Structure 1
Amino acid sequence: MSDTQDFALVIRELLSRRFGPEKAATLLAASPLLGYLVRKTKAANKGSKSRGSFANLYAIYVLVEDYLNKEYDVRGDYSRYDGAKFSALFTRQRQLPFGEKLQNHALNSRLNDEFYKFYPDVEARPILRDVETQRYWLNESLFIVDGVNICSAVIEIIDAYVEARRGSFSSFIAACRRIQELDDSMASEKVEFIASLLNPNTDARIFEIVSFAIMKTYYGDSTVWLGSTREDVTEQPVTLYKTGRTNANDGGIDFVMRPLGRFFQVTETLDLKKYFLDIDKVQKFPITFVIKTEMSVEEIGERLRQGARQAFGVTRIVDSYMSAIEEVINIPLLLEFLDESIERGAFGDLIAEVIIQSRAEFNLDDDEEAMIRSLDA
């Protein structure tokens, strides 16, 4: 499948091969579950810069897989099943491609909540669970449509989607490697490639990875003089560290700078409440915000101050929040950092960092790395 092909067409083709074109059309029209899969697999034709939605898809996948492995599609009587153990389902999720770092939210509530958001008039939810025993079932009523059990088709659809996404990620990293090999005379092409990854429409994970690589490279040429006494002051390099997984929604700080102890928080939103919440999380310790916007730093600062005034009113409190914003870094400033890094010949380090972080983020193993290298050949 090409990156530009609409994955909804792939779903229709898979269903047509199994059930025939007319039945496939009927199933797609009648099944909220298939409609949900169409919604969640739109990222297949958007390249590596779009969210993969693996958590909710894999919550469906592991329950359907359990159902099929126990042959309930053949023997029936699923209502008598004791239910799948949470530990087994959770372990299986993490064995799947891109699933290594998935958390338990999708199985516990997130899938059902999102399904309801899309289909508020449908009473059924995809997952049934007994909180006390930690046992789980799929809601069979959503998987038997117009007399047809679609469980095997659901597995095939999700498998096809995963392969499409894997290809997108691999192509992205292969493109990074090709750009990495450009010589110094191709500086404009290097800037253009990285700049395309800082577009305001870029997925939050890619933006965080690329902004980290740019800033780590930019600050990597800096040093500070530190010591516990005047006599033992030494020159030490400034290093930026990534503190966790991108887009994890885990409430943590994204980057930390050693030895200065600066905190960096990456965000794509201009929701002012989030900024003040981030400041509160670290008890007003100074934070630098890296924001996926082309809005000027001055305009961002003014919006934050106005928001603080509306939220708190008291000048003293407003000032305490504003003083906790150490710096604001926007897309234009990141591009300036990029230009300076290229000028001093550090682009190779920058793109290598993008590749390292992307491989970790997309959970690409050594076999997939070999495949990626073959794309460069």
Structure 2
Amino acid sequence: MSIVNHDFTDRIIEILNLHSGGSGRLLLKNSELIQYLNIKTKAANRGSKSRAGLANHYAIYVLVEDYINGGFNTINGYADYDGAKFCDLFRRQRELPFGSKLQNHALNHRLNEEFRKYFPSCENLPIIRDVGSNRYWINEKLLLADLNERQINLAVPIKEIIEAYIKARKSAFSEFMNYCQEIVDIQENSPEKAIDFIKGLFRPNVDARIFEIASFAVLKQYYADRRIYWGWSPEELIEESLVLYKTGRTNANDGGIDFVMRPLGRFFQVTETVDAGKYFLDIDKVQRYPITFVVKTNESCAEILKKIELQAEAKYQIKAIVKKYIESVEEIINIPRLMAIFKSVLGSGKGSNVVEEIILQSRVEFNIEAEEQDVLTFKNADM
């Protein structure tokens, strides 16, 4: 496969150069595992669409670390090694920055499955696992790469690549949070800067989680100014503001709906795709209950809906079925619509509330409190 080039690729080559006398690009070309890490580190660029999920990075990291701790990168004998215990690997993963909520899926199957997807012709998978003893090994064959008629062991550079990536991610998140706080502090004196900051979060190439958080913050303030009157009888009506609730962590892939509005009971789903299959899956989750889709695109709402309809007709062919699905799309909110809504929120003087909500949700999403407690450990490079 062709090599993916992005901002962090140069850092990967720089690390490989240090361990190969300047042959980093050749090592990248000759190692499927390094190529996989290159693919998985696109999110080091803050503007990447790639989500900074770390489960697969850390599955590789803890196994390579175990390999190095045993000295197998300098001596033979890994084939005779009893393997690492799952409990030790799992505990180590959760000690790492951003790793406190990691599950066991990457170690057990997801890393191997994704690696196979990218490298279907490769005979080796990264993790070797013995289910009976619950022991794990890194596939040593993937740690060895040909370099000018000799083999080089990549365990140490792989460990350093993942460490460099995590430092880049932590730096990006710290910068983001610091900038958010700065905007809160100065928004009264410099509202233009606050506006530009939030506008920058509504781009097709922004991180998916940040887009979802920013969308929620803007929509929550927008609907808070809308009131309805309801009750059991015309004589006993209650005046109530619309309240938007975030129902879980962003991009959790947990089968849930992203936002719910009370008391109307509207459902909102945030997506970055115009794939009818994805929309209909979300609609089926709630038995075709109407859903508002917040889409990370500049395409017009009419264009998006038309694309969905055409895909539905191609897939289902039966007009009655297509009609039921299309009718379940209550509203489509694209980036231009979000910008218009944000303009309305600014007009009502609630721009600072949006920024504060973004900070609050970001701290929850990125485990900022938990990570701040580990800053010293992180800086002391126990990783």
TM-score tier after normalising by the smaller chain length: 0.7 to 0.9
Unmatched runs of 5 consecutive residues or more in structure 1: 372-377
Q: Structure 1 residue 12 and structure 2 residue 13: aligned?
A: yes
Give 3-state SS (helix, strand or coil) of 2:368's partner. coil
Q: d(CA) in 1 for partners of 2:87 and 2:315?
A: 43
After superposition, residues 162-201 of structure 1 pair within 5 angstroms as 162-183=166-187, 186-201=190-205
Give 3-state SS (helix, strand or coil) of 1:290's partner. strand
User: Which is further off, 237-246 or 66-75?
Assistant: 66-75
Give 3-state SS (helix, strand or coil) of 1:328's partner. strand
Alignment: residue pair count: 366
Q: d(CA) in 2 for partners of 1:282 and 1:86?
A: 37
Q: d(CA) in 2 for partners of 1:211 and 1:141?
A: 45
Q: d(CA) in 2 for partners of 1:123 and 1:117?
A: 12
Letter in 2 for 1:10: R
Equivalent residue in structure 2 for 1:219, among 223, 237, 248: 223
Letter in 2 for 1:12: I
Match of 2:164 in 1: 160
Q: d(CA) in 2 for partners of 1:48 and 1:170?
A: 17
User: Which is further off, 272-281 or 141-150?
Assistant: 141-150
User: Which is further off, 173-182 or 237-246?
Assistant: 173-182
User: Which is further off, 275-284 or 137-146?
Assistant: 137-146
User: Which is further off, 349-358 or 23-32?
Assistant: 23-32
Unmatched runs of 5 consecutive residues or more in structure 2: 1-5, 376-383
Q: Structure 1 residue 77 and structure 2 residue 81: aligned?
A: no
User: Which is further off, 79-88 or 314-323?
Assistant: 79-88
Equivalent residue in structure 2 for 1:338, among 331, 334, 342: 342
Write the deviation string for residues 135-154 of structure 1: whole angstroms up to 9, x where unpaired: 32110111233443332332
User: Which is further off, 225-234 or 319-328?
Assistant: 225-234
After superposition, residues 134-283 of structure 1 pair within 5 angstroms as 134-145=134-145, 146-183=150-187, 186-228=190-232, 233-283=237-287
2:187–2:193 contact (8 Å) kept in structure 1? no
Q: d(CA) in 2 for partners of 1:131 and 1:312?
A: 42
Write the deviation string for residues 42-101 of structure 1: whole angstroms up to 9, x where unpaired: 332445875324222111011112223344445643223333333443333233212233
User: Which is further off, 284-293 or 102-111?
Assistant: 102-111
2:187–2:352 contact (8 Å) kept in structure 1? no
Q: CA deviation at 1:351?
A: 0.6
Q: CA deviation at 1:285?
A: 1.0
What's the C-alpha RMSD, in Å, of the aligned pairs?
A: 2.8
Q: d(CA) in 1 for partners of 2:328 and 2:132?
A: 44
Q: CA deviation at 1:109?
A: 2.8
Give 3-state SS (helix, strand or coil) of 2:292's partner. strand
2:46–2:206 contact (8 Å) kept in structure 1? no
Q: d(CA) in 1 for partners of 2:105 and 2:180?
A: 32
User: Which is further off, 25-34 or 196-205?
Assistant: 25-34
User: Which is further off, 81-90 or 92-101?
Assistant: 81-90
Equivalent residue in structure 2 for 1:324, among 328, 333, 338: 328
1:180–1:347 contact (8 Å) kept in structure 2? no
**What percent identity do the matched residue pairs reach?**
51
